[in-house]
């Protein structure tokens, strides 16, 4: 039974990555076609992040009360509704409603899926390593690449159609998930807990812990600065390729595939980078010099091959950062505080991303996309310098 659970989980992750990614290369182009400004596009993402943040704990409580399988399937149906609304929508407020509904979907699925798989394996006597299971789930990246490529070729015909494809794919996945997962062992609890108290507790305990462990909080703060700085590159790359170099929509999925591969190669290079730099914190901060050089190179080279190369170098640098920061943060948190501090870190990084979305939207609308990228590079320079000076060369 455990082999079937693992196989079904991997299949689900592959199909979910495919379903979600049909619009990944065309998202911003679609919204521009509908008349939204660059700032409005970013504000939609802010709305999604805020809703995601506020709903994470309440939907987790619902999953614990009604069952993780039911929560996942409800989330899949809500995703299908969100993407269908995107397909039909024509203005900012309609898109915002679709984004908020999408946030409900992702919070129904996020924690519940992992808990469902782990609990099911434990129930049926699995005694292997969980890392092996979740590594199998990385096949989702293949689904994302394939979906983005297919969606971009479909978007060349009509930019709204990738949303319809995603909606239909999630309908199929919601139906199939009734047979993918098992939760006949689930016992419904007597009470369900809501409220803001868990959020307050996370913030309070993390701040107290952070004051006692300043080097750890420096890395968390740097992660937030990086999240703020990269938002204009995150959001505007398809528009830059289309407006500056006249790249056709059908090729955006291929560029997105190159992004995923570059970030993956960067993550795999992290061991070599750590050995060369030796000091763990400096390895984290200096890794973002690669990201910085990639952004600057893309801003100053006006030929497509060089622009693409430097853009992918920036993605390599970001891929390099993630395993380095994750390792440092987890190695420097006591087990009893791990969940609390990681939740706080997630909140701080999302806050940085939200600020970056608003700032970059204002700059891009008034001064152009590449100028917003230059400001992004400047913020990164300041962040690297300040945090390196604060930490010196001590590990």
DSSP conformation letters of 363-395: HHHHH-HHHHHHHHHHHHHHHHHHHHHHHTT--
Q: Which domains does the chain have, with CATH numbers?
A: 2-180 (1.20.1250.20), 197-391 (1.20.1250.20)
pLDDT tier for residue 281 given thresholds of 50, 70 and 90: confident
* pLDDT of residue 342 exceeding 50: yes
- Tokens 């998930």 correspond to what residue? 177
Residue 199 confidence (pLDDT): 53
pTM of the model: 0.85
| Higher pLDDT, residue 110 or 154 | 154
Query: Given pLDDT bands bounded at 50, 70 and 90, which one contains residue 22?
Result: very high
162 exposed, middle or buried (CB, 10 Å; 0-12, 13-18, 19+)?
A: buried
Residue located via tokens 């050089």: 293
Residue 393 has pLDDT above 60, yes or no: no
What pLDDT does 291 receive?
A: 94
Tokens of 392: 């010196």
For residue range 121-143, what is the model confidence (pLDDT) as tens digits?
777 777 776 667 777 777 888 99
Tens of pLDDT, residue by residue over 223-260, are 889 999 999 999 999 999 999 999 999 999 999 999 99
Per-residue model confidence as pLDDT tens digits over 308-339: 999 999 999 998 888 888 777 777 776 556 65
**Mean predicted confidence (pLDDT) in 166-188:** 84
Higher-confidence residue of 197 and 371: namely 371
At a CB cut-off of 8 Å and minimum separation 6, what does 293 contact?
A: 310, 313, 314, 317
Segment 296-305 shows an average pLDDT of 92
- Choose the weakest-confidence range: 29-38, 175-184, 202-211, 367-376: 202-211
pLDDT score at 377: 93
* Phi-psi group of 162: left, alpha or beta (phi > 0 → left; psi -120 to 50 → alpha; rest → beta): alpha
- The tokens describing 98, both together, are 């679709």
Mean of pLDDT values over 210-214: 67
Ramachandran angles phi, psi of 127, nearest 5°: -125, 15
Q: List, in order, residues 6 or more apart from 269 with CB less than 8 Å away.
A: 316, 319, 320
Which tens digits make up the pLDDT trace of 92-121?
Answer: 999 999 999 999 998 888 767 877 877 777
Task: Please give the pLDDT value at position 178.
Answer: 86
């Amino acid at each position: 039974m455990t082999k079937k659970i693992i196989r079904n989980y991997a299949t689900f992750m592959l199909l979910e990555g495919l379903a979600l990614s049909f619009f990944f290369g065309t998202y911003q182009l679609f919204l521009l076609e509908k008349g939204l400004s660059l700032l409005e596009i970013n504000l939609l993402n802010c709305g999604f992040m805020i809703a995601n943040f506020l709903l994470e704990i309440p939907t987790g409580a619902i999953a614990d009360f009604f069952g993780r399988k039911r929560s996942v399937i409800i989330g899949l149906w809500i995703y299908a509704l969100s993407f269908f609304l995107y397909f039909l929508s024509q203005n900012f407020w309609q898109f915002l409603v679709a984004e908020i509904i999408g946030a409900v979907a992702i919070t129904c699925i996020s924690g519940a899926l992992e808990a469902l798989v782990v609990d099911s394996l434990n129930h049926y006597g699995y005694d292997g390593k969980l890392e092996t299971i979740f590594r199998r789930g990385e096949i989702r990246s293949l689904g994302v690449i394939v979906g983005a490529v297919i969606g971009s070729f479909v978007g060349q015909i009509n930019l709204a159609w990738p949303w319809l494809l995603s909606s239909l794919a999630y309908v199929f996945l919601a139906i199939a998930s009734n047979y993918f997962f098992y939760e006949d062992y689930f016992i419904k609890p007597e009470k369900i807990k809501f409220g803001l108290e868990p959020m307050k507790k996370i913030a309070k305990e993390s701040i107290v812990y952070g004051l006692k462990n300043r080097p750890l909080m420096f890395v968390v703060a740097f992660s937030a600065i990086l999240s703020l700085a990269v938002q204009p590159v995150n959001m505007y790359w398809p528009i830059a390729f289309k407006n500056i170099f006249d790249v056709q929509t059908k090729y955006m999925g291929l560029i997105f595939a190159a992004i995923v591969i570059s970030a993956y190669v960067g993550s795999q290079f992290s061991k070599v980078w750590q050995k060369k730099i030796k000091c763990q914190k400096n390895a984290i901060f200096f890794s973002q010099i690669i990201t910085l050089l990639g952004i600057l190179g893309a801003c100053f080279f006006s030929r497509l091959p060089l622009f693409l190369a430097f853009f992918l170098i920036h993605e390599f640098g970001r891929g390099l950062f993630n395993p380095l920061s994750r390792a440092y943060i987890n190695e420097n948190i006591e087990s009893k505080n791990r969940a609390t501090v990681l939740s706080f870190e997630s909140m701080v990084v999302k806050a940085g991303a939200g600020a970056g979305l608003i700032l970059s939207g204002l700059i891009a609308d008034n001064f152009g996309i590449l100028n917003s990228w230059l400001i992004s590079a400047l913020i990164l320079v300041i962040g690297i310098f300040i945090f390196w000076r604060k930490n010196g060369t001590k590990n």
